[in-house]
Amino acid sequence: MEISDSAPLSALVLLQDALMRPFSPEAGISILVMLVLLLFSGAISGSEIAYFSLNPLQLRELRTSTDNRDHLIIRQLERPKRLLATILISNNFVNVAIVILSTFITTEMFNLTGFPLVAFLIQVVVVTTLILIIGEIMPKILANEKSIRFARMMAYPISLLIKIFYPVSSLLVNFTSLIDKRVNRRGYNISMEELSQAIEITSDETTPEEERKILKGIVKFGDIEVKEIMKSRVDVTAVEVNTPFRELMDIIIESGYSRIPVYRDNFDNLAGILYVKDLMPYLNKGNEFDWRQLLREKHLFFVPENKRINDLLEEIQEKKIHMAIVVDEYGGTSGIVTLEDILEEIVGEITDEYDSIDEESLYSKLDENQYLFEGKTSLNDFCKILNIDGSVFERVKGDSDSLAGLILELEGKIPAKGETISFDKYKFTIEAVDKRRIKKIKVTLNEKETQE
């Protein structure tokens, strides 16, 4: 019994003696260096997360700090490609050094000439696991939780590495810049329709309807012209320059607007913009008060009808104004457009007590599939109210911007009262008309369309 128990033990001892080599000082030093390199690999990997996960609040804290390390971090982040290239190059150098050392340690400590599978497990599986756990996963988790502290700890080492690897990182940065240019040159142009479809595909039942509307508004934002959202000149509240002060005050109170265009003789000859807040100190004045001295002529900003509203928004922001005068190709005043009108194309209707009254006067809902609209209702508002895709009318609307204009484009004449015009899934019935314009239109939706 004793012989049978000692036999396997003797075999294991013999196998150990056959595999193990005597422990040498070189192997011990290599193990220590490998552990240091593993820690250094972890520090470099963690710095990538620490630097690039800093949020705006943390960046503001670093900019206002008096610590030199914080200013160094900001300078490094100002050249993100250089920073990232240095981190990647350094990490690869360290990891390659770890692999080479692990091979040397394995050769020094083990005799694996006849055991290729064991050599594979030690040199690949064990070393890779150590690099992943100590050099990647653990430091990145720590850096994500304490990004500022980690970035401060690595500020000076990263600065030194940037100087050491500057020639190599320069090659990498230049190469990636060349690739970026080629990719941009061959970039795929995505249409507005494809972007809208992408929003529909990526949205599900959990996506709030408001978010979906805002995303669609952003997609279509750059494709909308000023004339599609402007308030027509017949609906603009404006005053003649010789209007008595008390009469002017009555107009302002009735309209509820904070900015009023002022004209001489006719609306095509504008004199300036009156800011209602400028009248506050003179509320008790009588008709003898010359309110024309308060006009802001420099705030008259003219834009063509076909200007895109995304370009107009940039110009309005630069000029720090809230209203633009829309002119046609002959220089005549077509209407006005405000900052609120532009923003509504993204966030939806921004209503106040005056807007609510105006919106109610534009249309009324007769039943589930019938509406009564004012002829002056813009096509843009018409599509918003009925929640339909405006592209349906693109082919037939021509230069028209209102519902009445669409009917004129479809018919080629002013239709008679009671006349019915059908287009696509919509039926338009003329309810009120005179010799010059269509006043009221009843819109009937296809019952199938209503169910959808």
What's the length of the chain?
452
Distance CA 167, CA 172 (A): 9
Once rounded to an integer, what is the mean pLDDT over residues 239-251? 91
Band the pLDDT of 383: cuts 50, 70, 90.
Answer: confident
Number of C-alpha atoms within 13 angstroms, CB side, residue 84?
10
Domain residue ranges in the chain: 17-185, 195-221, 226-347, 353-451
Residue 61 predicted with pLDDT over 80: yes
> pLDDT (tens digit, 9 = 90+) per residue, 286-327?
888 889 999 998 889 999 988 988 888 888 888 888 899 999
Q: Which CATH superfamily does the domain covering 226-347 fall into?
A: CBS-domain (3.10.580.10)
pLDDT tens, position by position, 181-206: 665 555 555 565 666 666 666 666 66
Most confident range (mean pLDDT) of 168-177, 182-191, 257-266, 429-438 is 257-266
> pLDDT tens, 328-354?
888 889 899 998 888 887 776 666 555
Q: Please report which confidence band the pLDDT of residue 424 belongs to, taking 50, 70 and 90 as the band edges.
A: confident
Assign 270 a pLDDT band (cuts: 50, 70, 90): very high
Where residue 433 falls (left for φ over 0; alpha for ψ -120 to 50; beta otherwise) is beta
Which pLDDT band holds residue 239 (cuts at 50, 70, 90)? very high
Contacts of 399 (CB under 8 A, 6+ apart): 405
Asked if 122 and 19 count as a contact pair (C-beta separation under 8 A), the reply is: no
Domain 226-347 shares a fold with domain 353-451: no
> Has residue 361 got a pLDDT over 50?
yes
CA dihedral 33, 36, 40, 45 (to 10 degrees): 100
CB 260 within 8 A of CB 237: yes
With a threshold of 0.75, does the pTM exceed it?
no
Contact 372, 343 (CB under 8 A): no
What is the average per-residue pLDDT within 117-146?
Answer: 83
Contacts (Cβ under 8 Å, ≥6 apart) of 397 = 379, 405, 406, 409
Query: What percent of the chain has a predicted confidence (pLDDT) above 90?
Result: 16
pLDDT of residue 6: 52
Closest by Cα among 91, 187, 81 to 131: 91
Kindly report, residue by residue over 13-41, the tens digit of the pLDDT: 544 554 566 667 887 888 898 899 999 99
Amino acid 449: pLDDT: 47
CATH topology for 353-451? 3.30.465
Beta strands in 227-321 (DSSP E): 231-232, 239-240, 259-263, 270-275, 302-304
- Alpha-carbon radius of gyration of the chain: 37
